[in-house]
Amino acid sequence: MKIPIFELKLNDQYDSITYVSLVDMPAIERSFQAFSKESQIQTFATEDEEQRIISGALMLANQPIFRKAANDMPDHYVVFRPETIKQFILKFFKQGNTDKVNMMHNVPIEDVFMFESWIVDRDNGKAPPEGFEGISDGSWFGSFKVDNKDIWENYIKTGIFTGFSVEGFFSYSEESADVDEEKLIAIKKIISEIDI
């Protein structure tokens, strides 16, 4: 079955990332990592020892993301190119949106904020973290401090939220390419097995 794939672009006048959402099923299909004071992945120490930091992928370069049919669009995939991701990041920081975090693209959260961010660029020593080795250069990673006790105790530690999802306004390219969905699923399965 052939499904169209569109490149998402930044129209500088209208488009931007307005929020980073904590979600239970990230569209990019990558979970974040939660760190204790000992920095062991997915290990939570007692409250006074916890750093309350979550880190992970926010946007993956060149990875098709499935979108269900809506607003006169059929089922389709979207993809962000490295140069477009960089443009969105620059605008995100220029607008001061590092504390714009919500739950499930719905309820804004206080006391959760981004404190570090990087674009994967292996040639310049900016590698993805352990567990994300197969990620393309140009992908965006970030770390958030979770000072909100309710969010940390009831959503992060319990595993309800597993990853990030960016929220904003994006422009579709006018051109689309068709992809064979069965082949794409098989390729994504192989890549996910390599990343383990």
pLDDT digits (tens, 9 = 90+) for 3-20: 888 888 888 778 999 999
* Domain residue ranges of the chain, discontinuous segments joined by +: 2-194
Rounded CA-CA distance 189/193 in Å is 6
Exposed / middle / buried, residue 101 (Cβ in 10 Å: 0-12, 13-18, 19+) = buried
Confidence of residue 34 (pLDDT cuts 50, 70, 90): low
Confidence of residue 191 (pLDDT cuts 50, 70, 90): very low
Q: What angle do CA 118, 121, 123 make, to 5 degrees?
A: 145
pTM across the whole model: 0.77
Per residue in 50-72, pLDDT (tens digit) is 789 999 899 999 988 887 777 77
184-189: long-range contacts, CB 8 A cutoff, minimum separation 24:
184/64, 184/77, 188/29
Q: Among candidates 119, 118, 112, which has minimal Cα distance to 98?
A: 112
Per residue in 107-163, pLDDT (tens digit) is 999 999 999 999 999 999 999 888 788 889 999 999 999 999 999 999 999 999 989
Rounded CA-CA distance 194/172 in Å is 31
What pLDDT is stored for residue 30 in this prediction? 67
Q: Mean pLDDT across the chain, nearest whole number? A: 81
Output the six-digit token pair for 148: 């909100």
What pLDDT is stored for residue 175 in this prediction? 61
Q: Are 56 and 30 in contact (CB under 8 A)?
A: yes
Rounded CA-CA distance 42/80 in Å is 29
